[in-house]
Amino acid sequence: MAYSEWVLWIFILCLFGPTPISSESSLSSKIPTNFLSFARKQEVVDWLVGVRRKIHENPELGFEEVETSKLVRAELDKMGIPYKYPVAVTGVLGFVGTGEPPFVAIRADMDALAMQEMVEWEHKSKIPGKMHACGHDSHVAMLLGAAKILQEHREELQGTIILVFQPAEEGGGGAKKILDAGVLENVNAIFGLHIAPDLPIGEVASRSGPLLAGSGFFEAVISGKGGHAAIPQHSIDPILAASNVIVSLQHLVSREADPLESQVVTVAKFQGGGAFNVIPDSVTIGGTFRAFSKESIMQLKQRIEEVITRQAAVQRCNATVDFHEKEKPFFPATINNPNLHKHFQNVAGNMLGVHNVKDMQPLMGSEDFSFYQEEMPGYFFFLGMKDEALGRLPSVHSPHFKINEDALPYGAALHASLAATYLLEIQPQPSSREGKHHDEL
């Protein structure tokens, strides 16, 4: 560039100043810290903890979340947030913002597990044999916390945020029923989270692409001929047959799967016999299988059935296999959208600091959040709650599971920030998915 051109360029900069940063960009960077400050107010923290403890005391299984749903609706009523109910039996959808496009959703699962709580504390489960052992009580509390934050800042929202309180994540496929109800047809993106006992509080972790495996369940009844254990030649032993079946099932991963592709087949149920000296008539086994592609899931399903029936036949037994697809539909793999991953890194980095936003390896656990990701861009992440001062927290699905309630404000603020900033950044245009031409939910 010639000297005269430099002089002219400097003159223009002095006259007009630098190109201004858009107000939307500036607002997006401030939202995460502002929302976290709001969520950390003592009255908000106390409310979050109270809501979570009420839900924890009254755990409900999938599609039975009647009281949980009632609590959610009562809190939304107090905030003046409109909602749709029932959706997918017990689900609730709340609406914050303009009521116009674009639409973004944030989701929490509401169901508990069929487990007896072994933690002795003031707010222990009051329902024998049921427990919030996976943190869904905290998920609901954090989504309600996000609702409170968003409603307080609703004038700043440039679109509509859908609050998805979903039933039956624990194997029931509640997400699929939400989608089947047709209530999220025009949503541009959806976000979800899960607490993580092994991740320090104030940190989050996720990744672009495959995060969690797809999964299915199986149950098989292997039938033989019962008799006295002292004269096995007069019987057809289903326990022996089942034992051979289980060993053979392990070969599906070790001998048939690509070593570079992660797969799991686990037999976790074995029921048969009730006496030391009696060979039973039948044995029931069951378990789960997991992989990161639909093709691998379907291949595993086919081979599981073949191995069980044919190995049973080798031992002169009959076998029937049930995959319980109606009650426990196959979950797809949870695959995070790359663009939403960048959005998550920006928002979480602004709130927590970039050093507290971690990339993680895929896990073989599964999540029915994946059903949403088949229909729209979706992003799922893990929220830390480990505090060294509290000692090691038990893992999820343990009867000793506990929540560090200090994590609740972080989850509420992240939910709200991811949705609100997404609305600021997305161009207000109709969904690009085929057949979706409506501008209302």
For residue 40, the number of C-alpha atoms closer than 13 Å in the C-beta half-sphere is 11
Q: Which two tokens stand for residue 404?
A: 């560090």
Determine the distance from the C-alpha atom of residue 346 to the mean position of all C-alpha atoms in its chain, rounded to a whole number: 21
- Joined together, the tokens standing for residue 276 give 């030391």
- Distant-in-sequence, close-in-space partners of 199: CB < 8 Å, separation ≥ 6: 205, 358, 382, 383, 384, 385, 386
Between CA 218 and CA 140 the distance in angstroms is: 30
Looking up tokens 């995070």, which residue turns up? 336
Question: Residue 136 annotated as binding?
Answer: yes
DSSP 291-310: ESSHHHHHHHHHHHHHHHHH
Element (H, E) at 324: none
Burial of 340 (0-12, 13-18, 19+ CB in 10 A): buried
Please say whether the beta carbons of 301 and 295 come within 8 A: no
Cβ 101 vs Cβ 430: under 8 Å: yes
Task: Confirm whether residue 170 is marked as ligand binding.
Answer: yes
Contact status, residue 35 vs residue 417, Cβ threshold 8 Å: yes
Instruction: Give DSSP secondary structure letters for 245-270.
Output: HHHHHHHIIIIIS-TTS-EEEEEEEE
Number of separate helices (H) and strands (E) present in the chain: 11, 16
Residue 397 is labelled as binding a ligand = yes
Percent helix, percent strand, percent coil in the chain, to nearest 5: 40, 25, 35
- Binding-site members for Mn(2+) are 134, 136, 170, 194, 397
| Binding-site residues | 134, 136, 170, 194, 397
